[in-house]
Each structure stands twice: as C-alpha cells, then as structure tokens.
Amino acid sequence: MSHDGAAALLEVRVTSKDHVTAGGRPQRVLQDLQFTLPMGRAGAVVGPSGCGKTTLLRLIAGLDAQYEGAIRLPAGGRLGMVFQEPRLLPWRSVVDNLRIAAPQAREETIAALLMRLGLAEHAGHFPGELSLGLARRVALARALAIEPDLLLMDEPFVSLDAMLARELRGEIAALIDERRVTTLIVTHDIREAIELADRVFLLSTRPARVFTTLEIATPRRALTKAAADALQSEAEAAIEAMRAHGGMRA
C-alpha cells in the first residue's frame, strides 16, 4: 500500500483489504474499491451494515496500513476525524479538548468555532456533563480546529434523535459550504447522504466496492425535495439491481 498527500483530490484505490476472523481465517472486506473526490467537495460513502465502511475510513485515515492499493490525500494531508464515539478527553474541559487537539489554533479561532457550533456556554463543561448530541458537536469543533485538509466523519448522526440529527445535519452542511473543506462522511442512510454530499458512493455487500456514484449537481442549499426524491429513487433502483446480481457487478 502507499499513503501520501500531494493530490488535488482524494484518490482511493483499494485493491484488497482482509480482516482475520475470530477463527483465524482471512476474510475479504474490500475489493477493487475505487473513487475520487475533488478538493473542497463533500462525499458520502453509503453501504449496508457490516460491508466495511469503517474499515475503509480507517485506511483513509492511515490508522490501518494493512491493505493492497494506494490512497492519496488532498494536498496538505492534514486530517480531522469525527468517530462514531466522540472520544473526548474526559478529564479536560470542552475548550481544553480543542486546545490540546489544535495547539497552534488562536484563542479567537477556538472561541469562534465554539460559538459557531452553539457550544460557547459549554466551553468550561467536562465531556461527562454533555449529551451525546453536544459531545458530537465538540468532536466536530475539535476536528475543524486543526483546519484539516480532509475531514472524515463516521456516522455522525447515529444514536441521535431525529430532530437533533436534522439540526446537526444542517449545521454540517452549512459548515462544509462555508469552509470548503474536503469532507468524507460514512453513513448507512441514503437520504442523509444525498442531502449532505456532492458525490455519493454506493458500496456493495462484502467484499465492498463502489458499484454506483451519484453526482448531486444542484448546490446543496438549492436541492429541492423533488430532486432529492428522484436521486433517492435512482439510488434505490441501483441497490436493487446490485442485490439482484448477488452483489456482483450489475
């Protein structure tokens, strides 16, 4: 594998990735999985439960180097990551969590980020005092504080109630537009992906590959319900066709 950062886009080409099962046998999780995402754009990876989405994100983040293929990060190569679990330092306040992650960030930048994400009044709170929704916001603020060249998010709305999830989705969409940060979001929810991304990569069942890419041409803010419905139908038809072929190339 190779993992370097000098491209004008995120380029992912995973020829193969195996995990070892509890019984000690190799299990192919990803095979011939390829996609690209231009700088400043948002991509969403959508796939069935257990198909390998988190595995893919870990390869892109450089947390797992055991794969065949090549991954090139957008120029700069600085990564911000929001995990499913917020993973904040429990013995540090919200503002300290940001300061520690981004020691070079100016105090005003950190204060502005906390304000922007509705966290100003929680700056002195400790992670244990926060709801999951707030902790996710802190994790997002922390990832943005480092001014990443690539922002990776793994199921940022999972386990939030519908209203909170909608609210956070709107915030993230606005932040992506404002900051033009190249963003890759993993989700199992097609509608969520269509509403957030410029490009949606649909993954097959295991071993996962990208079997369809949806281009969301309309600017995010101008996406009408009718246009989102049409894209969702297109995605669902592609998934049906993929399943009908037993996960093989349709």
Out of 188, 213, 238, 250, the residue judged to bind ligand ATP by CB under 6 A: 188
Instruction: From 35-43, 45-53, 139-147, 215-223, give the range in contact with ligand ATP by CB under 6 A.
Output: 45-53
Q: What does DSSP assign to residue 208?
A: B
51 binds ligand ATP (CB under 6 A): yes
- Min separation Cβ 162 and ligand ATP, Å: 19
Signed CA dihedral, 70, 156, 215, 229: sign only: positive
Q: Which of residues 53 and 142 has its CB atom nearest to ligand ATP in the complex?
A: 53
- Min separation Cβ 72 and ligand ATP, Å: 21
How many residues of this chain bind ligand ATP (CB under 6 A)?
A: 12
Which residue do the tokens 């503002």 mark?
95
52 binds ligand ATP (CB under 6 A): yes
- Min separation Cβ 25 and ligand ATP, Å: 10
Token pair, residue 110, equals 């950190």
17 binds ligand ATP (CB under 6 A): no
Region of 157 (left: φ > 0; alpha: ψ -120 to 50; beta: rest) is: alpha
26 binds ligand ATP (CB under 6 A): no
- Min separation Cβ 35 and ligand ATP, Å: 16
Helices 94-101 and 107-116: angle between axes, nearest 10 degrees: 130
Helices 94-101 and 132-145: angle between axes, nearest 10 degrees: 30
Q: Which of residues 125 and 188 has its CB atom nearest to ligand ATP in the complex?
A: 188
207 binds ligand ATP (CB under 6 A): no
209 binds ligand ATP (CB under 6 A): no
29 binds ligand ATP (CB under 6 A): yes
Which residue do the tokens 């886009």 mark?
9
Q: Which of residues 81-120 bind ligand ATP (CB under 6 A)?
A: none
Q: What are phi and psi of 245, to 5 degrees?
A: -95, 15
Please state the separation of Cα 129 from the chain's center in Å: 26
Out of 53, 72, 137, 169, the residue judged to bind ligand ATP by CB under 6 A: 53
182 binds ligand ATP (CB under 6 A): no
Signed CA dihedral, 95, 96, 101, 106: sign only: positive
Q: Which of residues 66 and 218 has its CB atom nearest to ligand ATP in the complex?
A: 66
- b/e 5-44 (16+ beta carbons within 10 angstroms → b): bebebbebbbeebbeeeeeeeeeebbbebebbbebbbbbb
Judged by the rule CB under 6 A, the positions of this chain that interact with ligand ATP are 19-20, 29, 47, 49-55, 188
